[in-house]
Chain A
Amino acid sequence: MADMRSPLAKVRGLGSAKDGTMHFWHSRVTSVAAIPLTIFFLVLGFSLHGASYEEVRATFANPFVSVFALATLLMIIWHMKLGMQVIIEDYIFVERTKWVLLMLNSFFTGVLALLTLFALAKLAFGA
């Protein structure tokens, strides 16, 4: 197959990072997983409407609830990270700003995932 890149582009080292397909695929996999998980989460959310502190703790002490809640949030947070990355890459053309925002996106979603993990683990193990 003919090489579509100009010699100048090769010299500058610009071009595909070769992870676009994986990005697209992870976005789809997380979205498919998120369909039933989101419905589960809506049901869980409404079932805890008006629940007391003790009731909420007891609910998350159930392994199925905490594991599915963890799966839901981790899937969605990974999906969020991928989605926001696309938005940033679509609209931000100033290189420095773009890289800063891409980093902030990673940090923000990373912190959310860690907080979720810690909070659910604490509730599940009843510390």
Chain B
Amino acid sequence: MTNATQKRPLSPHLQIYKLTPTFLMSGFHRVTGAGLYFGAVLIVWWLVAAASGEEYFNWVSWLYGSWFGYFTLFCFSWALIHHLLGGIKHLAWDIGYGFEKQLAVKVAKIQIVSSVVLTVLVWIIGISLS
């Protein structure tokens, strides 16, 4: 197959650029998104278990209540909150706000700190109220 497009030189990719907070948060947004894609199975599986019967539901509940289950759900919730905050940032960018260099860097730094803090807070509040 002869195709002119296949012989073209490639533009530089990730490895050539300096690692900046905005670059890192861009990567985090994609990686958390991909993680949540597979993590959604956790939610759907739990719903299916609730619809399947008491014995199966109790087994899945036990699994989610184990230390590994809590660890996985904690990571899932962090990814969800991080992706949610990143999504709000992207929506602001979509309508033209927040592109100034200093502001974008500041927002990126705030995002990573606040996603961790929010996740811990959500768990503390969630567990203490339930």
Minimum distance in angstroms from B103 CB to a CB of chain A? 21
Any chain A CB within 8 A of the CB of B129?
yes
Q: Which residue of A lies closest to B57 (CB)?
A: A53
14 A–B pairs (Cβ distance < 8 Å), ordered by A: A34-B84, A35-B84, A35-B88, A50-B130, A56-B50, A57-B50, A76-B40, A80-B36, A83-B34, A84-B37, A87-B34, A112-B41, A119-B44, A120-B51
Any chain B CB within 8 A of the CB of A47?
yes
Q: Which residue of B lies closest to A42 (CB)?
A: B122
Residues of A within 8 A of B94 (CB): 28
**In the complex, chain A residues 1-45 whose Cβ is within 8 Å of any chain B Cβ:** 28, 31-32, 34-35, 38, 42, 45
Residues of A within 8 A of B57 (CB): 53, 56
A94, B37: Cα distance in complex, Å: 23
A60, B57: Cα distance in complex, Å: 14
Q: Which residue of A lies closest to B122 (CB)?
A: A42
A57, B10: Cα distance in complex, Å: 55
Any chain B CB within 8 A of the CB of A99?
no
Any chain B CB within 8 A of the CB of A64?
no
A112, B80: Cα distance in complex, Å: 18
Q: Which residue of A lies closest to B34 (CB)?
A: A87
Residues of A within 8 A of B61 (CB): 53
| Interface-central residue, B58, B77, B125, B126, by most chain A CB under 10 Å | B126
Any chain A CB within 8 A of the CB of B100?
no
Residues of B within 8 A of A120 (CB): 47, 51
| B37 near A80: Cβ-Cβ < 8 Å | yes
Q: Which residue of A lies closest to B61 (CB)?
A: A53
Q: Which residue of A lies closest to B95 (CB)?
A: A28
Any chain B CB within 8 A of the CB of A118?
yes
| B40 near A80: Cβ-Cβ < 8 Å | yes
Any chain B CB within 8 A of the CB of A116?
yes
| B130 near A118: Cβ-Cβ < 8 Å | no
Any chain B CB within 8 A of the CB of A115?
yes
| B88 near A123: Cβ-Cβ < 8 Å | no
Any chain A CB within 8 A of the CB of B120?
no
Residues of A within 8 A of B41 (CB): 112
Minimum distance in angstroms from A76 CB to a CB of chain B? 7
Partner of B127, one of A38, A46, A60, A116: A46
Any chain A CB within 8 A of the CB of B33?
yes
Q: A42-B122, A83-B34, A123-B51 are in contact. List 10 more A-B contacts (CB 8 A).
A: A31-B87, A35-B87, A49-B130, A53-B54, A57-B50, A83-B33, A87-B30, A112-B41, A119-B44, A123-B47
